[in-house]
Structure 1
Amino acid sequence: MTEQPYGASGADLNLVGVTKSFGAFTAVDDLSLTVPQGSFFALLGASGCGKTTTLRMIAGLEEPTTGRILLGDQDVTRLRPYKRPVNTVFQSYALFPHLSIADNVAFGLRRRGVKGIADQVERMLHLVDLDGFGKRKPSQLSGGQQQRVALARALINHPQVLLLDEPLGALDLKLRRQMQVELKRIQTEVGITFVHVTHDQEEAMTMADTVAVMNAGRIEQLGSPVEMYDFPGTAFVANFLGQSNLFAATVTGRSGDDVLVESHGARFSVPAARCRVTDGPGWLGVRPEKLHLATGLDKVPSGHQSVTGIITDSSYVGVSTQYLVRPAWGDELTVFSPNSGVAAPLAVAGEVTVHWRPEHAFLLPRPEGQTVAPVVDAEALA
């Protein structure tokens, strides 16, 4: 059997109108999605949003209620899992404890009757930085090393698509961050399509070319990490992908290239290019790291917009200090102030002015009558 180079038969992965229902419950709702060949794609969302069900349908472990799944021109919707050019890496690793590392990696090829696979196994172990580990057993490896073995075992089969189901969830924080870098390096080197399911925002943004945020079985927003973080499409995305300060606002008019809004009696402007709505109610949003603190209005730079409030809490988190500031209307603002050593920390109960550049704000749709921004349930991310 001739070894096939990675990506040689690659094709875009397409989900067309895919719905998956379990009785009266719809887990995935009319999902249409294209994952370009060779990309690192992340499905991001809280528990129960439909991301794992979507992955299982791509793998063939679940069958869509309606819709189609295609790899290029090939319809794989009803194909059995073992007939699809797809492999999955699970959070649990699922290594065979009685087999050596080399035999674990070779398992898929041996089942297919491929001969002369020793060189392929060596190349795989080199790819995942496990040279010389072939004779060991899984119990002799750390969690991160076992995850690399699971990755090598999947990649040696030369799948068109590699599915990653929360693969780093069982690792500690430091090891998880190391593996994020390694997974991206490996994906770039082999050039095949990776589809990664995770609830970890940092994980998705660190590794993926494209992120799809799922909510209640649908895609809330899709785009590059930078695009989605800097200019989210909805209040849910703004608060799911990082943190945002969202004020209930109402559009009052236009001034040149700016949209004018009023919030809690104060007036602000937002560049029209940063507005998802240009009329009616909206959420005026600013990320915490884009906010700055001053001890008086006279210290606010020209052109910045501002509100005054009282510091209610201060938390030192290493690279920055997190302040909570309560303006006159009562809702607290979160401010991340870098610990650069230039300025002294500010005291709790002190009055400050929170200010920002207008181009760092954004305006999102707000349902009529809603005055409290949606909060992502931290428990749902576990």
Structure 2
Amino acid sequence: MADDLVLENVTKQFGGVTAVDDLSLTVPEGSFFALLGASGCGKTTTLRMVAGLEELSSGTVRLGDRDITGLRPYKRPVNTVFQSYALFPHLTVEDNIAFGLKQRGVKDTKKKVAEMLELVQLPAFGKRKPAQLSGGQQQRIALARALVNEPKVLLLDEPLGALDLKLRRQMQIELKRIQTEVGTTFLHVTHDQEEAMWMADTVAVMTEGKIAQLGSPTDIYEFPSSPFVANFLGQSNLFAAEVSGTAGDDLLLSAHGGRFAAPSSRAHSADGRVWLGVRPEKVRLALPGEDAPAGHNQVHGVLTDTCYAGVSTEYLLKTPWGQEMSVFSANAAAGEPLQPGTEVVAHWYPPHSFVLARQSGEGDEVMRYSADPLGVAP
């Protein structure tokens, strides 16, 4: 039987607060799996229950056919890498890596330690102390110390959170390379949407102790299941609409006096009140007098803000009904960005649309969600 990590109806309560709510989840053996969510969503608590650092209120945790729910942390075939690295400052790099092996009574640790240093591409750093290493190097040594024990599952609790942006990008590549090379199951907790999409085979988006959506990064991004997911994983333009009919394989929608189309295959709801969605990078801008391609969905508006970000420019435009719409335009050609006050037509290919259910009580405006209260770059 495969050593899949299986959580069944797992619940964790702290007093009267339910941090994880009847969560069931399977992490396939050998996969790179990400739990993605904002602070307080229950992702770290879930990780700590797998590690044995938090006791379950109810439910079970299994690894293959073995129930590990009641096992002490040191008896579980899992290891954890924390954001703080938790290296022993008085020990050399070699001794840090060998620590777990020696605790288990392994006598000859030199070969395994050397293999780990090669794996994390730091073969010449064995005699140094942690204080003599950069943040990225310390992170690699913490990873080597965890992997040397050959765990069935490696738990990663925001391991890149303390690194600067450039180094974090480099370490994302390194983590994915190492996971592919060793084949160990990685369960990675993060609030960083780009980090989850960059590295993981499967992403589970969490909110309020539950899984909001689970799937490959491409599936979740291209076809989100709810307004929360649509605006948590990236950004989305969502327009209050109503389904007015069908035409072949397309749904026909009306929204704020305009008519739109979306494939029925990209609709989570096919009748009544819905949200019509499109990602900002799927939208193009045409100036007055320029024709949008025939059959494209169109929204007229006036630019209210322009943000030049090097590889792209983000435009904000106000629609005739007062809603703000976001458009990302690649800076592929020379020339200055369009200026605020410019009248434009935002248009997009109907198959780039998606349709979400609009719950009772939801008005014409949808909340904006972000993994980072200060805003996360697209």
The TM-score with structure 2 as length reference comes to 0.97
- Residue matched to 1:376: 369
Between the aligned partners of 1:173 and 1:380, the Cα distance in structure 2 is 16
CA deviation profile, 1:264-309 (whole Å, cap 9, x unmatched): 1111111100100001111110000000000036420122110110
One-letter amino acid matched to 1:221: Q
Task: Please tell me whether the aligned partners of residues 309 and 351 of structure 1 are also in contact (alpha carbons under 8 angstroms).
Answer: yes
Where does structure 2 lack aligned partners over 5 or more consecutive residues? Answer: none
Between the aligned partners of 1:364 and 1:55, the Cα distance in structure 2 is 30
Between the aligned partners of 1:169 and 1:357, the Cα distance in structure 2 is 37
One-letter amino acid matched to 2:34: A
Task: Please tell me whether the aligned partners of residues 10 and 192 of structure 1 are also in contact (alpha carbons under 8 angstroms).
Answer: no
User: RMSD over aligned Cα, in angstroms?
Assistant: 1.4
- Residue matched to 1:132: 124
How far is the alpha carbon of 1:262 from its aligned partner?
1.0
Task: Please tell me whether the aligned partners of residues 249 and 283 of structure 1 are also in contact (alpha carbons under 8 angstroms).
Answer: yes
- Residue matched to 1:259: 251
CA deviation profile, 1:160-184 (whole Å, cap 9, x unmatched): 0000000000000000000000000
Between the aligned partners of 2:65 and 2:113, the Cα distance in structure 1 is 31
Task: Please tell me whether the aligned partners of residues 10 and 38 of structure 1 are also in contact (alpha carbons under 8 angstroms).
Answer: no
The farther-off stretch of 298-307 and 337-346 is 337-346
Between the aligned partners of 1:91 and 1:66, the Cα distance in structure 2 is 28
Task: Please tell me whether the aligned partners of residues 6 and 63 of structure 2 are also in contact (alpha carbons under 8 angstroms).
Answer: yes
Q: Secondary structure at the match of 1:379?
A: coil
Aligned residues: 374
How far is the alpha carbon of 1:27 from its aligned partner?
0.3
Q: Secondary structure at the match of 2:367?
A: coil
Identify the match of residue 269 of structure 1 among 261, 264, 271: 261
Task: Report sequence identity in percent.
Answer: 64
CA deviation profile, 1:241-274 (whole Å, cap 9, x unmatched): 0000001111112121111111111111111001
Task: Please tell me whether the aligned partners of residues 308 and 337 of structure 2 are also in contact (alpha carbons under 8 angstroms).
Answer: no
- Residue matched to 1:65: 57
- Residue matched to 1:94: 86
- Residue matched to 1:5: none
How far is the alpha carbon of 1:208 from its aligned partner?
0.2
- Residue matched to 1:17: 9
Q: Secondary structure at the match of 1:29?
A: strand
Which aligned pairs between 1:1-382 and structure 2 lie closer than 5 A?
11-296=3-288, 298-341=290-333, 344-370=336-362, 371-377=364-370, 378-379=372-373
Between the aligned partners of 2:303 and 2:280, the Cα distance in structure 1 is 14
The farther-off stretch of 339-348 and 83-92 is 339-348
How far is the alpha carbon of 1:348 from its aligned partner?
1.2
The farther-off stretch of 372-381 and 340-349 is 372-381
The TM-score with structure 1 as length reference comes to 0.96
Task: Please tell me whether the aligned partners of residues 47 and 380 of structure 1 are also in contact (alpha carbons under 8 angstroms).
Answer: no
Q: Give the direction of change, closer, same or farther, for the CA distance of 1:229–1:103 in structure 2 (3 Å limit).
A: same
Q: Secondary structure at the match of 1:113?
A: coil
Q: Secondary structure at the match of 1:188?
A: helix
Q: Secondary structure at the match of 1:347?
A: coil
- The runs of 4+ residues in structure 1 deviating greater than 6 Å are none
Q: Give the direction of change, closer, same or farther, for the CA distance of 1:172–1:98 in structure 2 (3 Å limit).
A: same
How far is the alpha carbon of 1:91 from its aligned partner?
0.2
One-letter amino acid matched to 2:51: A
Task: Please tell me whether the aligned partners of residues 53 and 73 of structure 2 are also in contact (alpha carbons under 8 angstroms).
Answer: yes
How far is the alpha carbon of 1:92 from its aligned partner?
0.2
Q: Give the direction of change, closer, same or farther, for the CA distance of 1:380–1:46 in structure 2 (3 Å limit).
A: farther
Between the aligned partners of 1:249 and 1:270, the Cα distance in structure 2 is 12
How far is the alpha carbon of 1:10 from its aligned partner?
6.1
Between the aligned partners of 2:242 and 2:351, the Cα distance in structure 1 is 18
Task: Please tell me whether the aligned partners of residues 231 and 274 of structure 1 are also in contact (alpha carbons under 8 angstroms).
Answer: yes
One-letter amino acid matched to 2:258: A
Q: Give the direction of change, closer, same or farther, for the CA distance of 1:154–1:63 in structure 2 (3 Å limit).
A: same
How far is the alpha carbon of 1:343 from its aligned partner?
6.0
Between the aligned partners of 1:165 and 1:381, the Cα distance in structure 2 is 21
